Amino acid sequence: MEVVRSQKKPSSASADGVSTIPLYRSAPTLEVRLEDFERFAVDRLLVLRGISDGLARGKKPDEMEKLVSDLWKANMRHPNTSEIIDKDIISHFVLRLVYCRTEELRKWFLSMESTLFRYRFRLETSDVHRALMTELGIPYKSVTNAEFEGLKEKLSQVARSIGQQLPTSDTVYYKVPWEEVSELVGSRRVFIKKGYAYVALNQVVSFVIPHFRSHLSKALVLTNRKWTSMIREQEKDRLTPIVEALSTSYLGPDYTQDKEFGEISLKDIDQVARSSFPLCMRHLFDSLRDDHHLKHGGRMQLGLFLKGVGLKLDDALAFWKAEFSQKVGAERFDKEYAYGIRHNFGKEGKRTDYTPFSCQKIILSTPGVGDHHGCPYRHFSEENLRAALGKMGVSSRELEQVVDKAKGRHYQLACTLTFEAIHGASCDTGINHPNQYFKASQNILKEKKQSTT
């Protein structure tokens, strides 16, 4: 989009100055600095990932409403209050560009943005609800006073059954085809007559969301076409690297080198692997010990993780050489593989000090035949996942919960439940990084050891 400062007021502010929710119908004509382009997107991504975790944990609607409100306040602030709406709009469109690129990314973004819209909508006033319905072009009209009086008793019965205030002559209802509010019909929270549902104003989110979702779904497809046909190539030296990195970006602490636990000794590495490696790294470690070889993806994923937990370069070279030389010989290892290990530590090539992979990056990887990298909760068959979890010591009851979350594509929550099952301690923040798993595990084991001495 052309970045030009607009002189018009954003359409998402009402005439009386009360902020409402943007509907993101068209890209903004706003001047955006490159650093804000990325920073605003990261802030919104923190909100969406927080929502994803809340949904995966099965939080109730009231809990989700509070969570969304807290996430929004914590991450979408701006020093200049007049710029908050601009930040909202810009961050949405940046992430729309990020998540338009594959069907899987589109599906996740559509679900999270619709959930965000749902709970922001619920927090708004009835006047804002009406304004948004008008802007969305929703055609349903409110029930007339005469029709309301004829149905008042039935509507009161429904309100009473779901714990809502009894309707009065001032209560606004909308007459909607019942199939438009299937969630209300399915939970018996609405009165139906002759194919129409009578929806109270405080329930209209149930038919507003499908309209919002439908528009966004179509917009994501169109954005993908523009991205692949034009934007990606035009912006290959400026925006494209940012866009392509954001969907797998890790937004937590830096785990380039463990600063709390210091060095990991080679003589202790097997014991530490059994006690504190997450399943993805445990699988790679065991595969390396069994086969004395890992393909490039596995070497990168495990190698950077080991670097992050405190394995120094000299020890890393000794560790990998001891394994690989059993299969390819010491001379071939020195010629073909040692360079890659030194490269990960920033000692070769561009001398970049590479960081360990985050959960998001590992989940979105695509291991092929003979590969062992990737996320077991996503890439393992159910049978293999059950076997691996049992080997780690997850009990049968907890194992079922983990497998259930993996089936539901809540891979990080499945890993979090595994952590909690093995360590007998909660992890409220959730697992977002293999090195976070390791660090939390080591802390718990250290505390247990101190309590017994």
Q: List binding-site positions for [4Fe-4S] cluster.
A: 280, 359, 375, 415
Q: Comparing C-alpha atoms, which of 259, 271, 250, 211 is closest to residue 363? A: 250
Separation between Cα atoms, residue 77 and residue 85, nearest integer Å? 10
The H or E element spanning position 406 is: helix 396-407
Location of structure tokens 């338009």:
100
For residue 14, how many other CB atoms are within 10 A of its CB?
A: 13
Structure tokens at 160: 């009473």
Would you state the structure tokens that stand for residue 283, as one six-digit string? Answer: 């699988």
> Contact, 104 vs 56, CB < 8 A?
no
Integer CA distances (angstroms), 141 to 133, 177, 283, 298, 390, in order: 11, 12, 59, 59, 57
Which three-class secondary structure state does DSSP give residue 193?
strand
Kindly give the residue spans of alpha helices, DSSP state H, lying in 259-368: 269-276, 279-291, 296-309, 313-324, 330-336, 338-344, 359-363
In the sheet that 191-193 helps form, which strands lie side by side, from edge to edge? 173-177, 196-200, 191-193
Q: What values do phi and psi take at 384, rounded to 5?
A: -65, -35
Q: Radius of gyration over alpha carbons of the chain, in Å?
A: 26
Annotated binding site: 280, 359, 375, 415
Please give the helix or strand (H or E) that residue 122 lies within, else none. Answer: helix 103-122
Of 368, 293, 345, nearest in space to 323 by CA:
293
What is the maximum alpha-carbon separation in the chain?
Answer: 91
Distance between CA atoms of 112 and 97, rounded to whole angstroms?
15
From the list 33, 67, 63, the residue with the least C-alpha distance to 51 is: 67
Q: Nearest CA to 418 among 277, 249, 284, 230?
A: 277
Identity of the residue numbered 46: L
Cα distance between residue 280 and residue 376, in whole Å? 6
Q: Which phi and psi angles does 200 have, rounded to 5°?
A: -70, 155
